[in-house]
Amino acid sequence: MEQQIVQLLQDTQSSHEGPRTNAELQLRQLYTNTSFAPTLVAVSTHQSIPLATRQAALLLLKQFVQQVWSPQFEEFKGEMLVSAEDRATLRQALLDLATDAHQERKIKSAASIVVSKIATADFPDEYPNLLPTLLHIINNGQDGQLHGALKVLQDLIDDCFNDDQFFNVAHQIVSSVFAVAASSRPTILRALAVSVFRSCFDMLEMVLEDHKTAVKAFAEDTLATWYPFFLETLNMPVPNVPVEQEESQNPVAENYRGIIALKLQVVKVLMRVRQIFPSALAPQAPALFAATWQELNNLRQSYHESFILHDRQGRLEDADGLPFTLDFLVLEEIDFMQACLRAAPVRKQLEEQLRSQSMPDTWVTEVMKLAVTYSHITTEEEGLWDIDFNIFVAEESNVTANYTPRTACADLVIKLGEWQSAATIEGLLHHTRELYSTDSSWKSKEAALFILNQLLTDFFEADRPMVPEVAAAYIDFVRYAMQQEHVFLRARGHLTASSLVRAAGDAVGGISTSLMEQSLHAITNDPSDVVKVSCIRSMQAYLAGVSTDNARSMQAAVIAAIHTFVTELDFGELDESEDIMIAIVETLRDVIMIDTRICLTGSGLDVLFTIASWCSFNYQIYILITETFEDLTETLSDSGPDVYTQLCAKVLPSLSGAFDVANLTDENSLTNLAADMLTALAEHGPSPLPQGFIVTIMPKLTRLLLESPDEELLKSATSATRYMLEKDPEQMFNWANHDGKSGLEVVLVIIDRLLGPTVEDNAAGEVGGLAAALVEKAGSERLGPYLAQLLSAVAHRLSAATQTQVIQNLILVFARLSLLSAREVIDFLAQLAINGESGLQVVLTKWLENSVNFAGYDEIRQNIIALSRLYDLHDPRLDNIQVKGDMIMPTSTRIMTRSRARANPDQYNIIPAPLKIVKILVDELLSPLTNAISRGVENLAPASEVEKAESVASDESGWEDEDGFLDLGAGMTKEALMGYAAEDAPNRGRDDETQAYLLQWFGGKAQEDGFGEVFAQLTPEEQEKLRSMGSQQA
């Protein structure tokens, strides 16, 4: 059997699909053979078999375990095929393989993965000897055995322990891994031991809330033992970087990689401790900060030679996921250095030093030198940006996930600038003078301006002023950079110049306009596209920094320059240039919005439409163009009908042309974009619309609405039709298509198609709004017999609708009619039959059970008033309608899994429709407390003093975080949550019209005979809300 399995495993790696598929099928058929799993283990142990085949055997064994070992696995196929005796034998054989000192590391790693997978199902009940065995090997085994044992132990901590299990063995685990970490074993094993220790903190964080005292005591006791080791490791010298050819096998290279990995894991542990137990780390922070700073200084030359002068491969990890390259270590240490700057003991020490120092000879200047050193453009980045300058733009826009020492240095300097603003900007100025007064490389000069640019951006966003003399001192450096031969230095000069203008404001005086003109000139005249795009992007900052008059005077020139650049672009070569196009559209948006009337005569809209015609397939650009057009349309519309008419004359031909090219069988993003633009144009238009608007658009729009299968296009086109109907019903009704059908008939045909069964809910998402607008604008006299047919179609579609938006829009058709005549709506629905049921039962059930999901203030208000009108009818037909009331809470305390939820859906009591209406209205009524919060939350500061004490790292923790600091590993701050409340809650609270109506309505009901019986059927919470309303009115 062994030879058969070896052959099948080799066939699974065949490049030919037939043999590969056949081998996979035969292997699956062997699952039921009791010798299958032991044979796979045997194959993986034979060193005479090719390594790839042995790895494949263990990979297949892992799949086998997941499918037939235990029902705990999601992949489990329903039958446990391994006996208890065979399970024990397999567990031991795999553990022996994972800890075999003579096996290849890849085989041991693969075996440890299978052991860990089995442990997640069997530990500890069926696998009680696993942990003692692992700890024995870790404490007494050979180096070759240690690797597999540590890997399995790490997986055990990550996946298998519960709270009690971990606490019972935590001291043993920590002691064992510490013994390895502090030993003279190979450094890569010591690094793995430290990584296991870090996993312990992940476990501690999970149980911290429930066992705060015990966990904190354990952590402090443990860390007291580890801190000397951490400091010793950080102070350990890093050997010279080995030549790259030696990295894979040479013992010297292996030792180098091990030291880098060990140091890196130590820093990762310290960052984890900082997140979970900041008070335990704070007293040690000064020594750790000093060691980290010293090491970064020591590594500058090695880093420079490896990554700035040469293109050494970075960002590498070993098979165990341990990073081992110098760039990773530098990155982690820069981040830790930044974290230490928030430690109170570190700040106190540095502040004392700063008071005894004078510029420029301060520690701040030294940090600036360090940051500039590690901010150099690497050789790899330079090569990538030369090939694809979209990557450069992405880095500049901070939209890339590529976190490098360069970006980490920017974060470090920004954090330092928030604390020591003047010293930071002046320290950087001193170092910049040094670089620009010598023959320093262009990368050094670029790095200094890169750091300055980051600081300036933060100064502007935080509204921190710049000393005029300091701002003026930087002008010569950016002017120099803007004139240099090297592309990236020249681009950096323009970008930093614009940031300087924006952040410094009046501090740079009349120079700002001169700098802006220089960048503007470069858009059309610089030979480099990198510089041109950088200059286009720089316009955003310039426009925010120069005076309004200067911005307006240069508006036309900026648009013309962008137009020239876009005209010369070869869009066919820009498939992967999303960030470039976004930068252009964002700049175009900013310059247009200075005075939107320029779009009526200039080329701004032409540029926007040109980019749209090529880039509408990109979702981000699509949204950006749509929002830009909507903003300028709304602004121009506010200027009056004449201006709006000019805008229509400018854009309707282009929009109409986009509809002309539409292929109705394929999705066309440009047609969708044109429909969205038309929706914005109609929504913000005057009433009535300019003459000829509808006759220009409706023929082509009708074709789309009646023939297109594109769901999003149908929604947008439906919205556009609705807004045109609402803004100018007479123009719509007076229009006739080529067959002589009136606009009214055409809209009815459109609605009929959208309500039909061939159109999905999503595509019909806006038909309810169109139907409601038609009923409202046409009226019963104009609609005649069509009204009943229309409402019947709406009711039938509502009965089958499942999507929330569709349901809401269809219900609103009846809600708006109920505002005019609730009795007629009830009468109509009562005589309507839908699939053999009463239309009143079907529609009212859907209406009442979905009202809680309504969105939009106008829509909610209309629905609330309509429901109150229905209740006021006291129609006995409504009493006979039974709907879902309150949910019946389950009594079981078992965890509700997805399978149990499917088997036991939520249960509700059944109540009459009038009572449900009252419940909906009570639910919509804001309580006095909610009202007070919603009205007062705007006046709240970002955080109260109490919140600051809790969330801003008080003296107790020893860390002085700024207000609103968000640690990515520590969840949301209270300031952030309060920010959401401050943004969202007032909008709800300010809907006073609905609240006033409800207060008045319930006040009237309280005086009615019989309402007491309804009140008695409400829940205690609902009753209390009404009582509190009464006391509030009193």
* Tokens read off for 367: 């940090």
CA 627 to chain centre: 20
Contact 447/375 with Cβ under 8 angstroms?
yes
Distance between CA atoms of 356 and 362, rounded to whole angstroms? 9
Q: What percent of the chain has pLDDT over 90?
A: 80
Q: Which of 391-405, 411-425, 695-709, 794-808 has the lowest mean pLDDT?
A: 391-405
Is 673 a residue whose pLDDT tops 70?
yes
**How confident is the model at residue 953, as a pLDDT?**
39
Angle at 451 between CA 449 and CA 456, to 5 degrees: 90
Contact 190/260 with Cβ under 8 angstroms?
no
Q: Which of 103-107, 403-407, 425-429, 458-462 has the lowest mean pLDDT?
A: 103-107
* DSSP notation for 586-618: HHHHHHHTT-GGGGGTSSHHHHHHHHHHHHTTS
H/E stretch holding 427: helix 421-436
**How confident is the model at residue 966, as a pLDDT?**
39
Is 242 a residue whose pLDDT tops 50?
yes
Share the mean pLDDT of the chain.
90
Beta partners for residue 361, in sequence order: 358
Query: Cα Rg for the chain, rounded, in angstroms?
Result: 35
Phi and psi at 761, nearest 5°, equal: -55, -45
Contact 702/750 with Cβ under 8 angstroms?
yes
**How confident is the model at residue 958, as a pLDDT?**
78
Phi and psi at 375, nearest 5°, equal: -100, 0
- Longest Cα–Cα distance of the chain, Å, equals 95
**How confident is the model at residue 210, as a pLDDT?**
84
For residues 481-492, give the mean pLDDT.
98
For residues 816-828, give the mean pLDDT.
95
Phi and psi at 885, nearest 5°, equal: -105, -120
Closest CA to 648 of 595, 585, 691: 691
**How confident is the model at residue 1, as a pLDDT?**
87
Q: What percent of the chain has pLDDT over 70?
A: 91
**How confident is the model at residue 505, as a pLDDT?**
83
Closest CA to 386 of 568, 530, 566: 530
pTM of the shown model: 0.85
**How confident is the model at residue 662, as a pLDDT?**
56
Distance between CA atoms of 730 and 428, rounded to whole angstroms? 67
**How confident is the model at residue 167, as a pLDDT?**
86
State which CATH number among 1.10.3470, 1.25.10, 3.30.70, 1.10.150 fits the domain covering 1-160.
1.25.10
Contact 492/446 with Cβ under 8 angstroms?
yes
For residues 474-487, give the mean pLDDT.
97
660 vs 819, which has greater pLDDT? 819
pLDDT in tens, 267-301: 999 999 999 999 999 999 999 999 999 999 999 99
Q: Parallel, antiparallel, or unpaired: how do β-strands 882-888 and 837-838 relate?
A: unpaired
**How confident is the model at residue 315, as a pLDDT?**
95
**How confident is the model at residue 990, as a pLDDT?**
47
In sequence order, the 6+-apart residues with CB closer than 8 A to the CB of 721 are 698, 701, 705, 747, 750, 770
Distance between CA atoms of 885 and 922, rounded to whole angstroms? 13
594: left (phi over 0), alpha (psi -120 to 50) or beta: alpha
Separation in Å, CA 712 to CA 133, 671, 704: 61, 10, 12
Distance between CA atoms of 128 and 46, rounded to whole angstroms? 29
Distance between CA atoms of 666 and 682, rounded to whole angstroms? 26
Helix (H, G, I), strand (E, B) or coil at 656: helix
Number of CB atoms found within 10 A of residue 934's CB: 19
Q: Parallel, antiparallel, or unpaired: how do β-strands 833-834 and 837-838 relate?
A: antiparallel
* Tokens read off for 501: 């203008």
For residues 677-695, give the mean pLDDT.
97
pLDDT in tens, 139-149: 999 998 999 99
H/E stretch holding 315: none
H/E stretch holding 846: helix 839-850
Is 870 a residue whose pLDDT tops 50?
yes
Extents of the domains making up the chain: 1-160, 925-1033
pLDDT in tens, 929-984: 444 433 343 343 333 333 333 333 344 577 865 444 434 333 333 333 334 333 33
Q: Which of 178-192, 914-928, 996-1010 has the lowest mean pLDDT?
A: 914-928
Distance between CA atoms of 935 and 399, rounded to whole angstroms? 36
Is 1034 a residue whose pLDDT tops 80?
no
For residues 459-481, give the mean pLDDT.
94
**How confident is the model at residue 971, as a pLDDT?**
39
517 vs 969, which has greater pLDDT? 517
Amino acid at 913: A
Distance between CA atoms of 187 and 787, rounded to whole angstroms? 83
For residues 235-259, give the mean pLDDT.
85
Distance between CA atoms of 124 and 126, rounded to whole angstroms? 6
Distance between CA atoms of 182 and 164, rounded to whole angstroms? 28
Distance between CA atoms of 37 and 983, rounded to whole angstroms? 59
Closest CA to 632 of 601, 676, 597, 583: 597
* Tokens read off for 456: 């300036």
**How confident is the model at residue 189, as a pLDDT?**
96
- pLDDT range class, residue 200, cuts 50, 70, 90: very high
Cα(first)–Cα(last) distance of the chain, in Å?
A: 89
**How confident is the model at residue 664, as a pLDDT?**
64
Is 987 a residue whose pLDDT tops 60?
no
Is 530 a residue whose pLDDT tops 60?
yes
Q: Which of 47-56, 709-718, 937-946 has the lowest mean pLDDT?
A: 937-946
Is 460 a residue whose pLDDT tops 50?
yes
Closest CA to 575 of 385, 388, 381: 388
**How confident is the model at residue 507, as a pLDDT?**
83
**How confident is the model at residue 660, as a pLDDT?**
80
Q: Which of 112-126, 387-401, 690-704, 843-857 has the lowest mean pLDDT?
A: 387-401
Is 928 a residue whose pLDDT tops 70?
no
Is 99 a residue whose pLDDT tops 70?
yes
**How confident is the model at residue 1032, as a pLDDT?**
58
